[in-house]
A and B are shown apart, each in its own frame.
Chain A
Amino acid sequence: QSVLTQPPSVSGAPGQRVTISCTGSSSNIGAGYDVHWYQQLPGTAPKLLIYGNSNRPSGVPDRFSGSKSGTSASLAITGLQAEDEADYYCQSYDSSLSALFGGGTKLTVL
């Protein structure tokens, strides 16, 4: 059981908008720690998608955006494309000085 809770799966048609939530607690996200997001394409290593709640690394399309409020964070993907089909993980930090990952969300493009 991951400390950060994500929906196991989400889906959307090409061109649509989907969101993935990441819910923590007062000892991690709610304590003010940043949330980061990773995209993992099948058979590959995770790739940083969003850092510091809402920042995109160079090369990440602006179709991907992140936000954080209270003890939760969200990843939004607009203009869904077939190539976005992947697993998505949120990550934060805990007052016990541990990195935390969410349970992952599988995005299916219909």
Chain B
Amino acid sequence: QITLKESGPTLVKPTQTLTLTCTFSGFSLSTSGVGVGWIRQPPGKALEWLALIYWDDDKRYSPSLKSRLTITKDTSKNQVVLTMTNMDPVDTATYYCAHRRVAAAGYYFDYWGQGTLVTVSS
């Protein structure tokens, strides 16, 4: 059974760096083909893909946020960490981590964490 859970601060100040941790179980990020992604959702708005890390440590980032994002993994702890620099109030959102599954062409997210709401305010 695959589960994921996000953790991190609920409130950050503008210009600060956000660090979120995704702790998962039921799979290993050292297994070929496995990936974990981060997706966010501002209140009342649409989902936005942020980043993805693969079992082989390959990383992909949203082009619009690439300069601010870093995704890393700790295979021994079954964790994926996302950092986002220079936080702004527009970054207020619920942040989700999700397990990536390969499709015939592309990929999708078959298991999601419950999400964690991050508010950016002074």
> Which residues in A have some Cβ–Cβ distance to B below 8 Å?
2, 32-34, 36, 38, 45-48, 51-52, 57, 89, 91-93, 96-104
Q: List 18 A-B contacts (CB under 8 A).
A: A32-B105, A34-B103, A38-B47, A45-B113, A45-B115, A46-B47, A48-B110, A51-B101, A51-B103, A91-B108, A92-B106, A93-B107, A98-B63, A99-B37, A99-B49, A100-B49, A101-B48, A104-B45
Q: How large is the interface on B (under 10, 10 to 19, 20 to 34, 35 or more residues)?
A: 20 to 34
Q: Is the CB of B47 within 8 A of A93?
A: no
B24 interfacial by beta-carbon distance below 8 Å:
no
A83 to chain B minimum Cβ distance, whole angstroms, is 19
Kindly report which residue of chain B lies nearest to residue A44, judged by CB atoms. Answer: B114
Residues of B within 8 A of A51 (CB): 101, 103, 108, 110
> Which residues in B have some Cβ–Cβ distance to A below 8 Å?
37, 39, 45-49, 52, 60, 62-63, 96, 101, 103-110, 112-115
Q: Which of B37, B47, B63, B113 contacts A96 (CB 8 A)?
A: B63
Q: Which of A2, A48, A52, A100 contacts B104 (CB 8 A)?
A: A52
B110 to chain A minimum Cβ distance, whole angstroms, is 5
Known contacts: A97-B60, A101-B47. The answer to whether A34 contacts B112 by CB under 8 A is: no
Distance between Cα atoms of A76 and B60 in the complex (Å): 32
Top 5 nearest A-B pairs (CB, nearest first) are A93-B106, A36-B108, A99-B49, A101-B47, A33-B106
Total contacts A to B, CB within 8 angstroms?
68
Q: A36-B108, A45-B115, A57-B110 are in contact. List 11 more A-B contacts (CB 8 A).
A: A34-B105, A34-B108, A48-B108, A92-B106, A93-B103, A98-B62, A98-B63, A99-B37, A99-B39, A101-B46, A104-B47
Distance between Cα atoms of A25 and B47 in the complex (Å): 19
Residues of A within 8 A of B114 (CB): 45
Kindly report which residue of chain A lies nearest to residue B106, judged by CB atoms. Answer: A93
Distance between Cα atoms of A36 and B74 in the complex (Å): 29
Known contacts: A45-B96, A48-B109, A48-B110. The answer to whether A34 contacts B49 by CB under 8 A is: no
